[in-house]
C-alpha cells in the first residue's frame, strides 16, 4: 500500500516544493503543494506539472489525487507559514 509520505517524497524529488502535505488511504489522496514553479501558471498547468513530477505512478500506484497547488505568496495569503529563506 502506498503511503502519503511516499507521495510527498516523490513530489519533493520531482519538483521544487516549498511545502508539501499529502493525506490519503493508500489509493485516494489529497495533496497541498506549494511551489514557486507555479508562478504565472493556471490551475491546469500547475496540475500538469505535478503529474509530470509523479510520472507513471499516476497510472500505476496512485488511483486518485486531488490537489491544491499554490505559489508561496498564495500560501502565505491563506494563512500558511512563510517559507524559510536561505
Where do the domains of the chain lie?
Answer: 4-73
Instruction: Please tell me the predicted confidence (pLDDT) of residue 53.
Output: 96
Would the pLDDT of 55 be above 70? yes
Give the model's pLDDT for residue 86.
41
pLDDT for 85 equals 52
Distance CA 79, CA 10 (A): 25
DSSP alpha helix (H) spans, the chain: 4-14, 43-54, 57-60, 72-77
**What is the rounded distance in angstroms from the CA atom of residue 67 to the CA atom of residue 84?**
23
Residue with cell 486531488: 66
Return d(Cα 64, Cα 14) in angstroms, integer.
Answer: 18
pTM metric for this prediction: 0.89
Measured distance CA(70)–CA(39) in Å, rounded? 8
CATH superfamily of 4-73: BolA-like (3.30.300.90)
81 versus 40: the higher-pLDDT residue is: 40
Amino acid at each position: 500500500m502506498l503511503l502519503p509520505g511516499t507521495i510527498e517524497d516523490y513530489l519533493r524529488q520531482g519538483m521544487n516544493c516549498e511545502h508539501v502535505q499529502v493525506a490519503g488511504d493508500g489509493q485516494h489522496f489529497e495533496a497541498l503543494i506549494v511551489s514557486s514553479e507555479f508562478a504565472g501558471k493556471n490551475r491546469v498547468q500547475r496540475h500538469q506539472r505535478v503529474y509530470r513530477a509523479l510520472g507513471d505512478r499516476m497510472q500505476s500506484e496512485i488511483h486518485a489525487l486531488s490537489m491544491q497547488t499554490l505559489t508561496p505568496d498564495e500560501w502565505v495569503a491563506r494563512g500558511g507559514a512563510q517559507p524559510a529563506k536561505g
